[in-house]
Amino acid sequence: MPEYLSTAPVKGTRDFLPAEMSVRTQVFGHLYEVLESYGFLRYDGPILEQAEVYERKSGQEIADQQLYTLTTRGGERLALRPEMTPSVARMIAGNAKSLSFPVRWYSHPNCHRYERPQRGRVREHWQINADIFGSDSANCEIEMFELIHDLMGALGASPDTFAVRVNDRNLLSSALTDVVGVTAEQLPQVFALVDRWEKTAADDLAASAAEIGLADKQFEKLTETLAAGPALLDELPAEVKENSNLVKVLSSSAASLVRFEPMIVRGLAYYTSTVFEVFDTSPQNRRALFGGGRYSDLASLFTKEQITGIGFGMGDVTLMDFLATHGLTPSPRSEVDVVVIPVDEQLADAAREVATSLRRAGLRTSTPLELRKLGKELTRADKAGAAAVVIVGQEDWAAGTVTVRGLATREQQQVALAEVPGVVSALLAPTA
């Protein structure tokens, strides 16, 4: 017996059969429409980048644990992109002289990370990225938060099903140094501690704080600080708050779109001020769905020009989990709208002619590739989800007509060839 290869996809990757691909196409189509309604332009880039790009800017977790790397025959170290932001920063820097800033760009890249596969995490994922480059204005933050609400709304999510939790790393730095008494040297380690705060047991957090060098009273104060919410702003110096775009957002009409939470940090090293995460509020799926933030110097890897940016990445895995949790997953579309069936092989050309007219009218139309008995073709059309079939018979065709049958009602009528697209379209129209 031959030894067959496994039909399973590589660990951490997924197959998408047509029904699931239909769902994904609908979901992402809605997101594209919203992004483009805001003036975002779509771009794309290579799946391979220099490994150094991620090692220098994406943070230790990605660089040391999650990066897929390879070395070319010429000795160049490359990596499969784990995220898109460094790539788009490279593209922006390389084309800065021809761009009219600020610019709004979006993409939908395929990304790879060597994760431990589990709910919400795989090794290959697709991610909607949206970024604004070239403006320091708080209006960028406001637009991002409005955009997120509109994206979620386009998928049927009501505002109570998710929360946009926001922070400013500069505000947090001030709180840690001025309120908790953290030293400048301890800040990076404390940031990392805060980033895993909600996922770690209190005893383990206390132990980690002690390893960093925080006294017991400092750990207690840190705990109070992270739980303070908006009240924390009252304890921070005025000059720190004056320079915070987030504070401006919280003083604007967009304040209702977000929730200030000091424990939001984001693990990626390139975020410099505003950071945010979108959380599912359902007890069955209480977790971060996606997030982003502002980065002031990411383009400095590629140019001496400082090009500030703000953006987010919305991964497909957690998004689909969210839709399933809230009963918002769309149904797969039918295979076709209508099937044109010739009663014998001699009418195959006639059937293709009718199918062409239906396609030109915007109807998804198929014809049998291997003709079977009419009853079997009708059954096949029904299973394909067709709303109607067009039967091409010899006598009807000679008279310039065909038979149109609605599969839901089983009613049929003789229709002149020129009227077929209109009659079939009426059968597909939703009833009141």
Annotated ligand binding at 85? The verdict is: yes
Instruction: Say whether 275 sits in a helix, a strand or coil.
Output: strand
Cα separation of 330 and 275, whole Å? 31
- Within 10 angstroms of residue 108's Cβ, the number of other Cβ atoms is 18
In tens, the pLDDT along 364-380 reads 999 999 989 999 999 99
Annotated ligand binding at 136? The verdict is: no
Residue 340's nearest CA partner among 399, 294, 298, 403 is 403
Q: Sign of the C-alpha dihedral, residues 390, 396, 401, 404?
A: negative
Domains, the chain, in order of start with CATH, read 18-325 (3.30.930.10), 338-428 (3.40.50.800)
**Residue 312 is inside which H or E element, if any?**
strand 309-315
Annotated ligand binding at 73? The verdict is: no
- Please compute, for residue 168, the number of CA atoms within 13 A of its CA located in the half-sphere on the CB side: 22
Annotated ligand binding at 84? The verdict is: yes
Contact 30, 135 (CB under 8 A): no
Query: How far, rounded to the nearest angstrom, does the alpha carbon of residue 229 sit from its chain's CA centroid?
Result: 28
Contact 196, 226 (CB under 8 A): no
Cα separation of 400 and 241, whole Å? 77
Annotated ligand binding at 271? The verdict is: yes
pLDDT reported for residue 432: 46
Annotated ligand binding at 372? The verdict is: no
Annotated ligand binding at 160? The verdict is: no
Cα separation of 62 and 77, whole Å? 16
Query: How far, rounded to the nearest angstrom, does the alpha carbon of residue 236 sit from its chain's CA centroid?
Result: 35
Residue 164's nearest CA partner among 149, 143, 142 is 149
pLDDT reported for residue 56: 77
* 338-342 vs 365-366, strand pairing mode: parallel
Instruction: Say whether 360 sits in a helix, a strand or coil.
Output: helix
pLDDT reported for residue 2: 75
- pLDDT tens per residue, the chain (432 residues)? 678 999 999 898 999 999 999 999 999 999 999 999 999 999 999 999 999 888 876 656 666 678 898 999 999 999 999 989 889 989 999 999 999 999 999 999 999 988 777 776 788 999 999 999 999 999 999 999 999 999 999 999 999 999 999 999 999 999 999 999 999 999 989 998 998 898 899 999 999 999 999 999 999 999 999 999 899 999 999 999 999 999 999 999 999 999 999 999 987 677 889 999 999 999 999 999 999 999 887 777 788 888 999 999 999 999 999 999 999 999 999 999 999 999 999 999 999 999 999 999 999 999 999 989 999 999 999 999 999 999 999 999 999 999 999 999 999 999 999 999 999 999 998 754
Query: How far, rounded to the nearest angstrom, does the alpha carbon of residue 87 sit from its chain's CA centroid?
Result: 17
Cα separation of 68 and 79, whole Å? 6
DSSP per position, 123-168: SEEEEEEEEEES---HHHHHHHHHHHHHHHHHTT--GGGEEEEEEE
Q: Sign of the C-alpha dihedral, residues 389, 393, 395, 399?
A: positive
Annotated ligand binding at 83? The verdict is: yes
**Using alpha carbons only, what angle is made at residue 41 by residues 324 and 328, rounded to the nearest 5 degrees?**
10
Cα separation of 190 and 293, whole Å? 19
pLDDT reported for residue 233: 92
Contact 91, 29 (CB under 8 A): no
- Say which amino acid occupies 337: D
- Within 10 angstroms of residue 170's Cβ, the number of other Cβ atoms is 18
Annotated ligand binding at 266? The verdict is: yes
Cα separation of 404 and 229, whole Å? 64
Average pLDDT score over the chain? 92
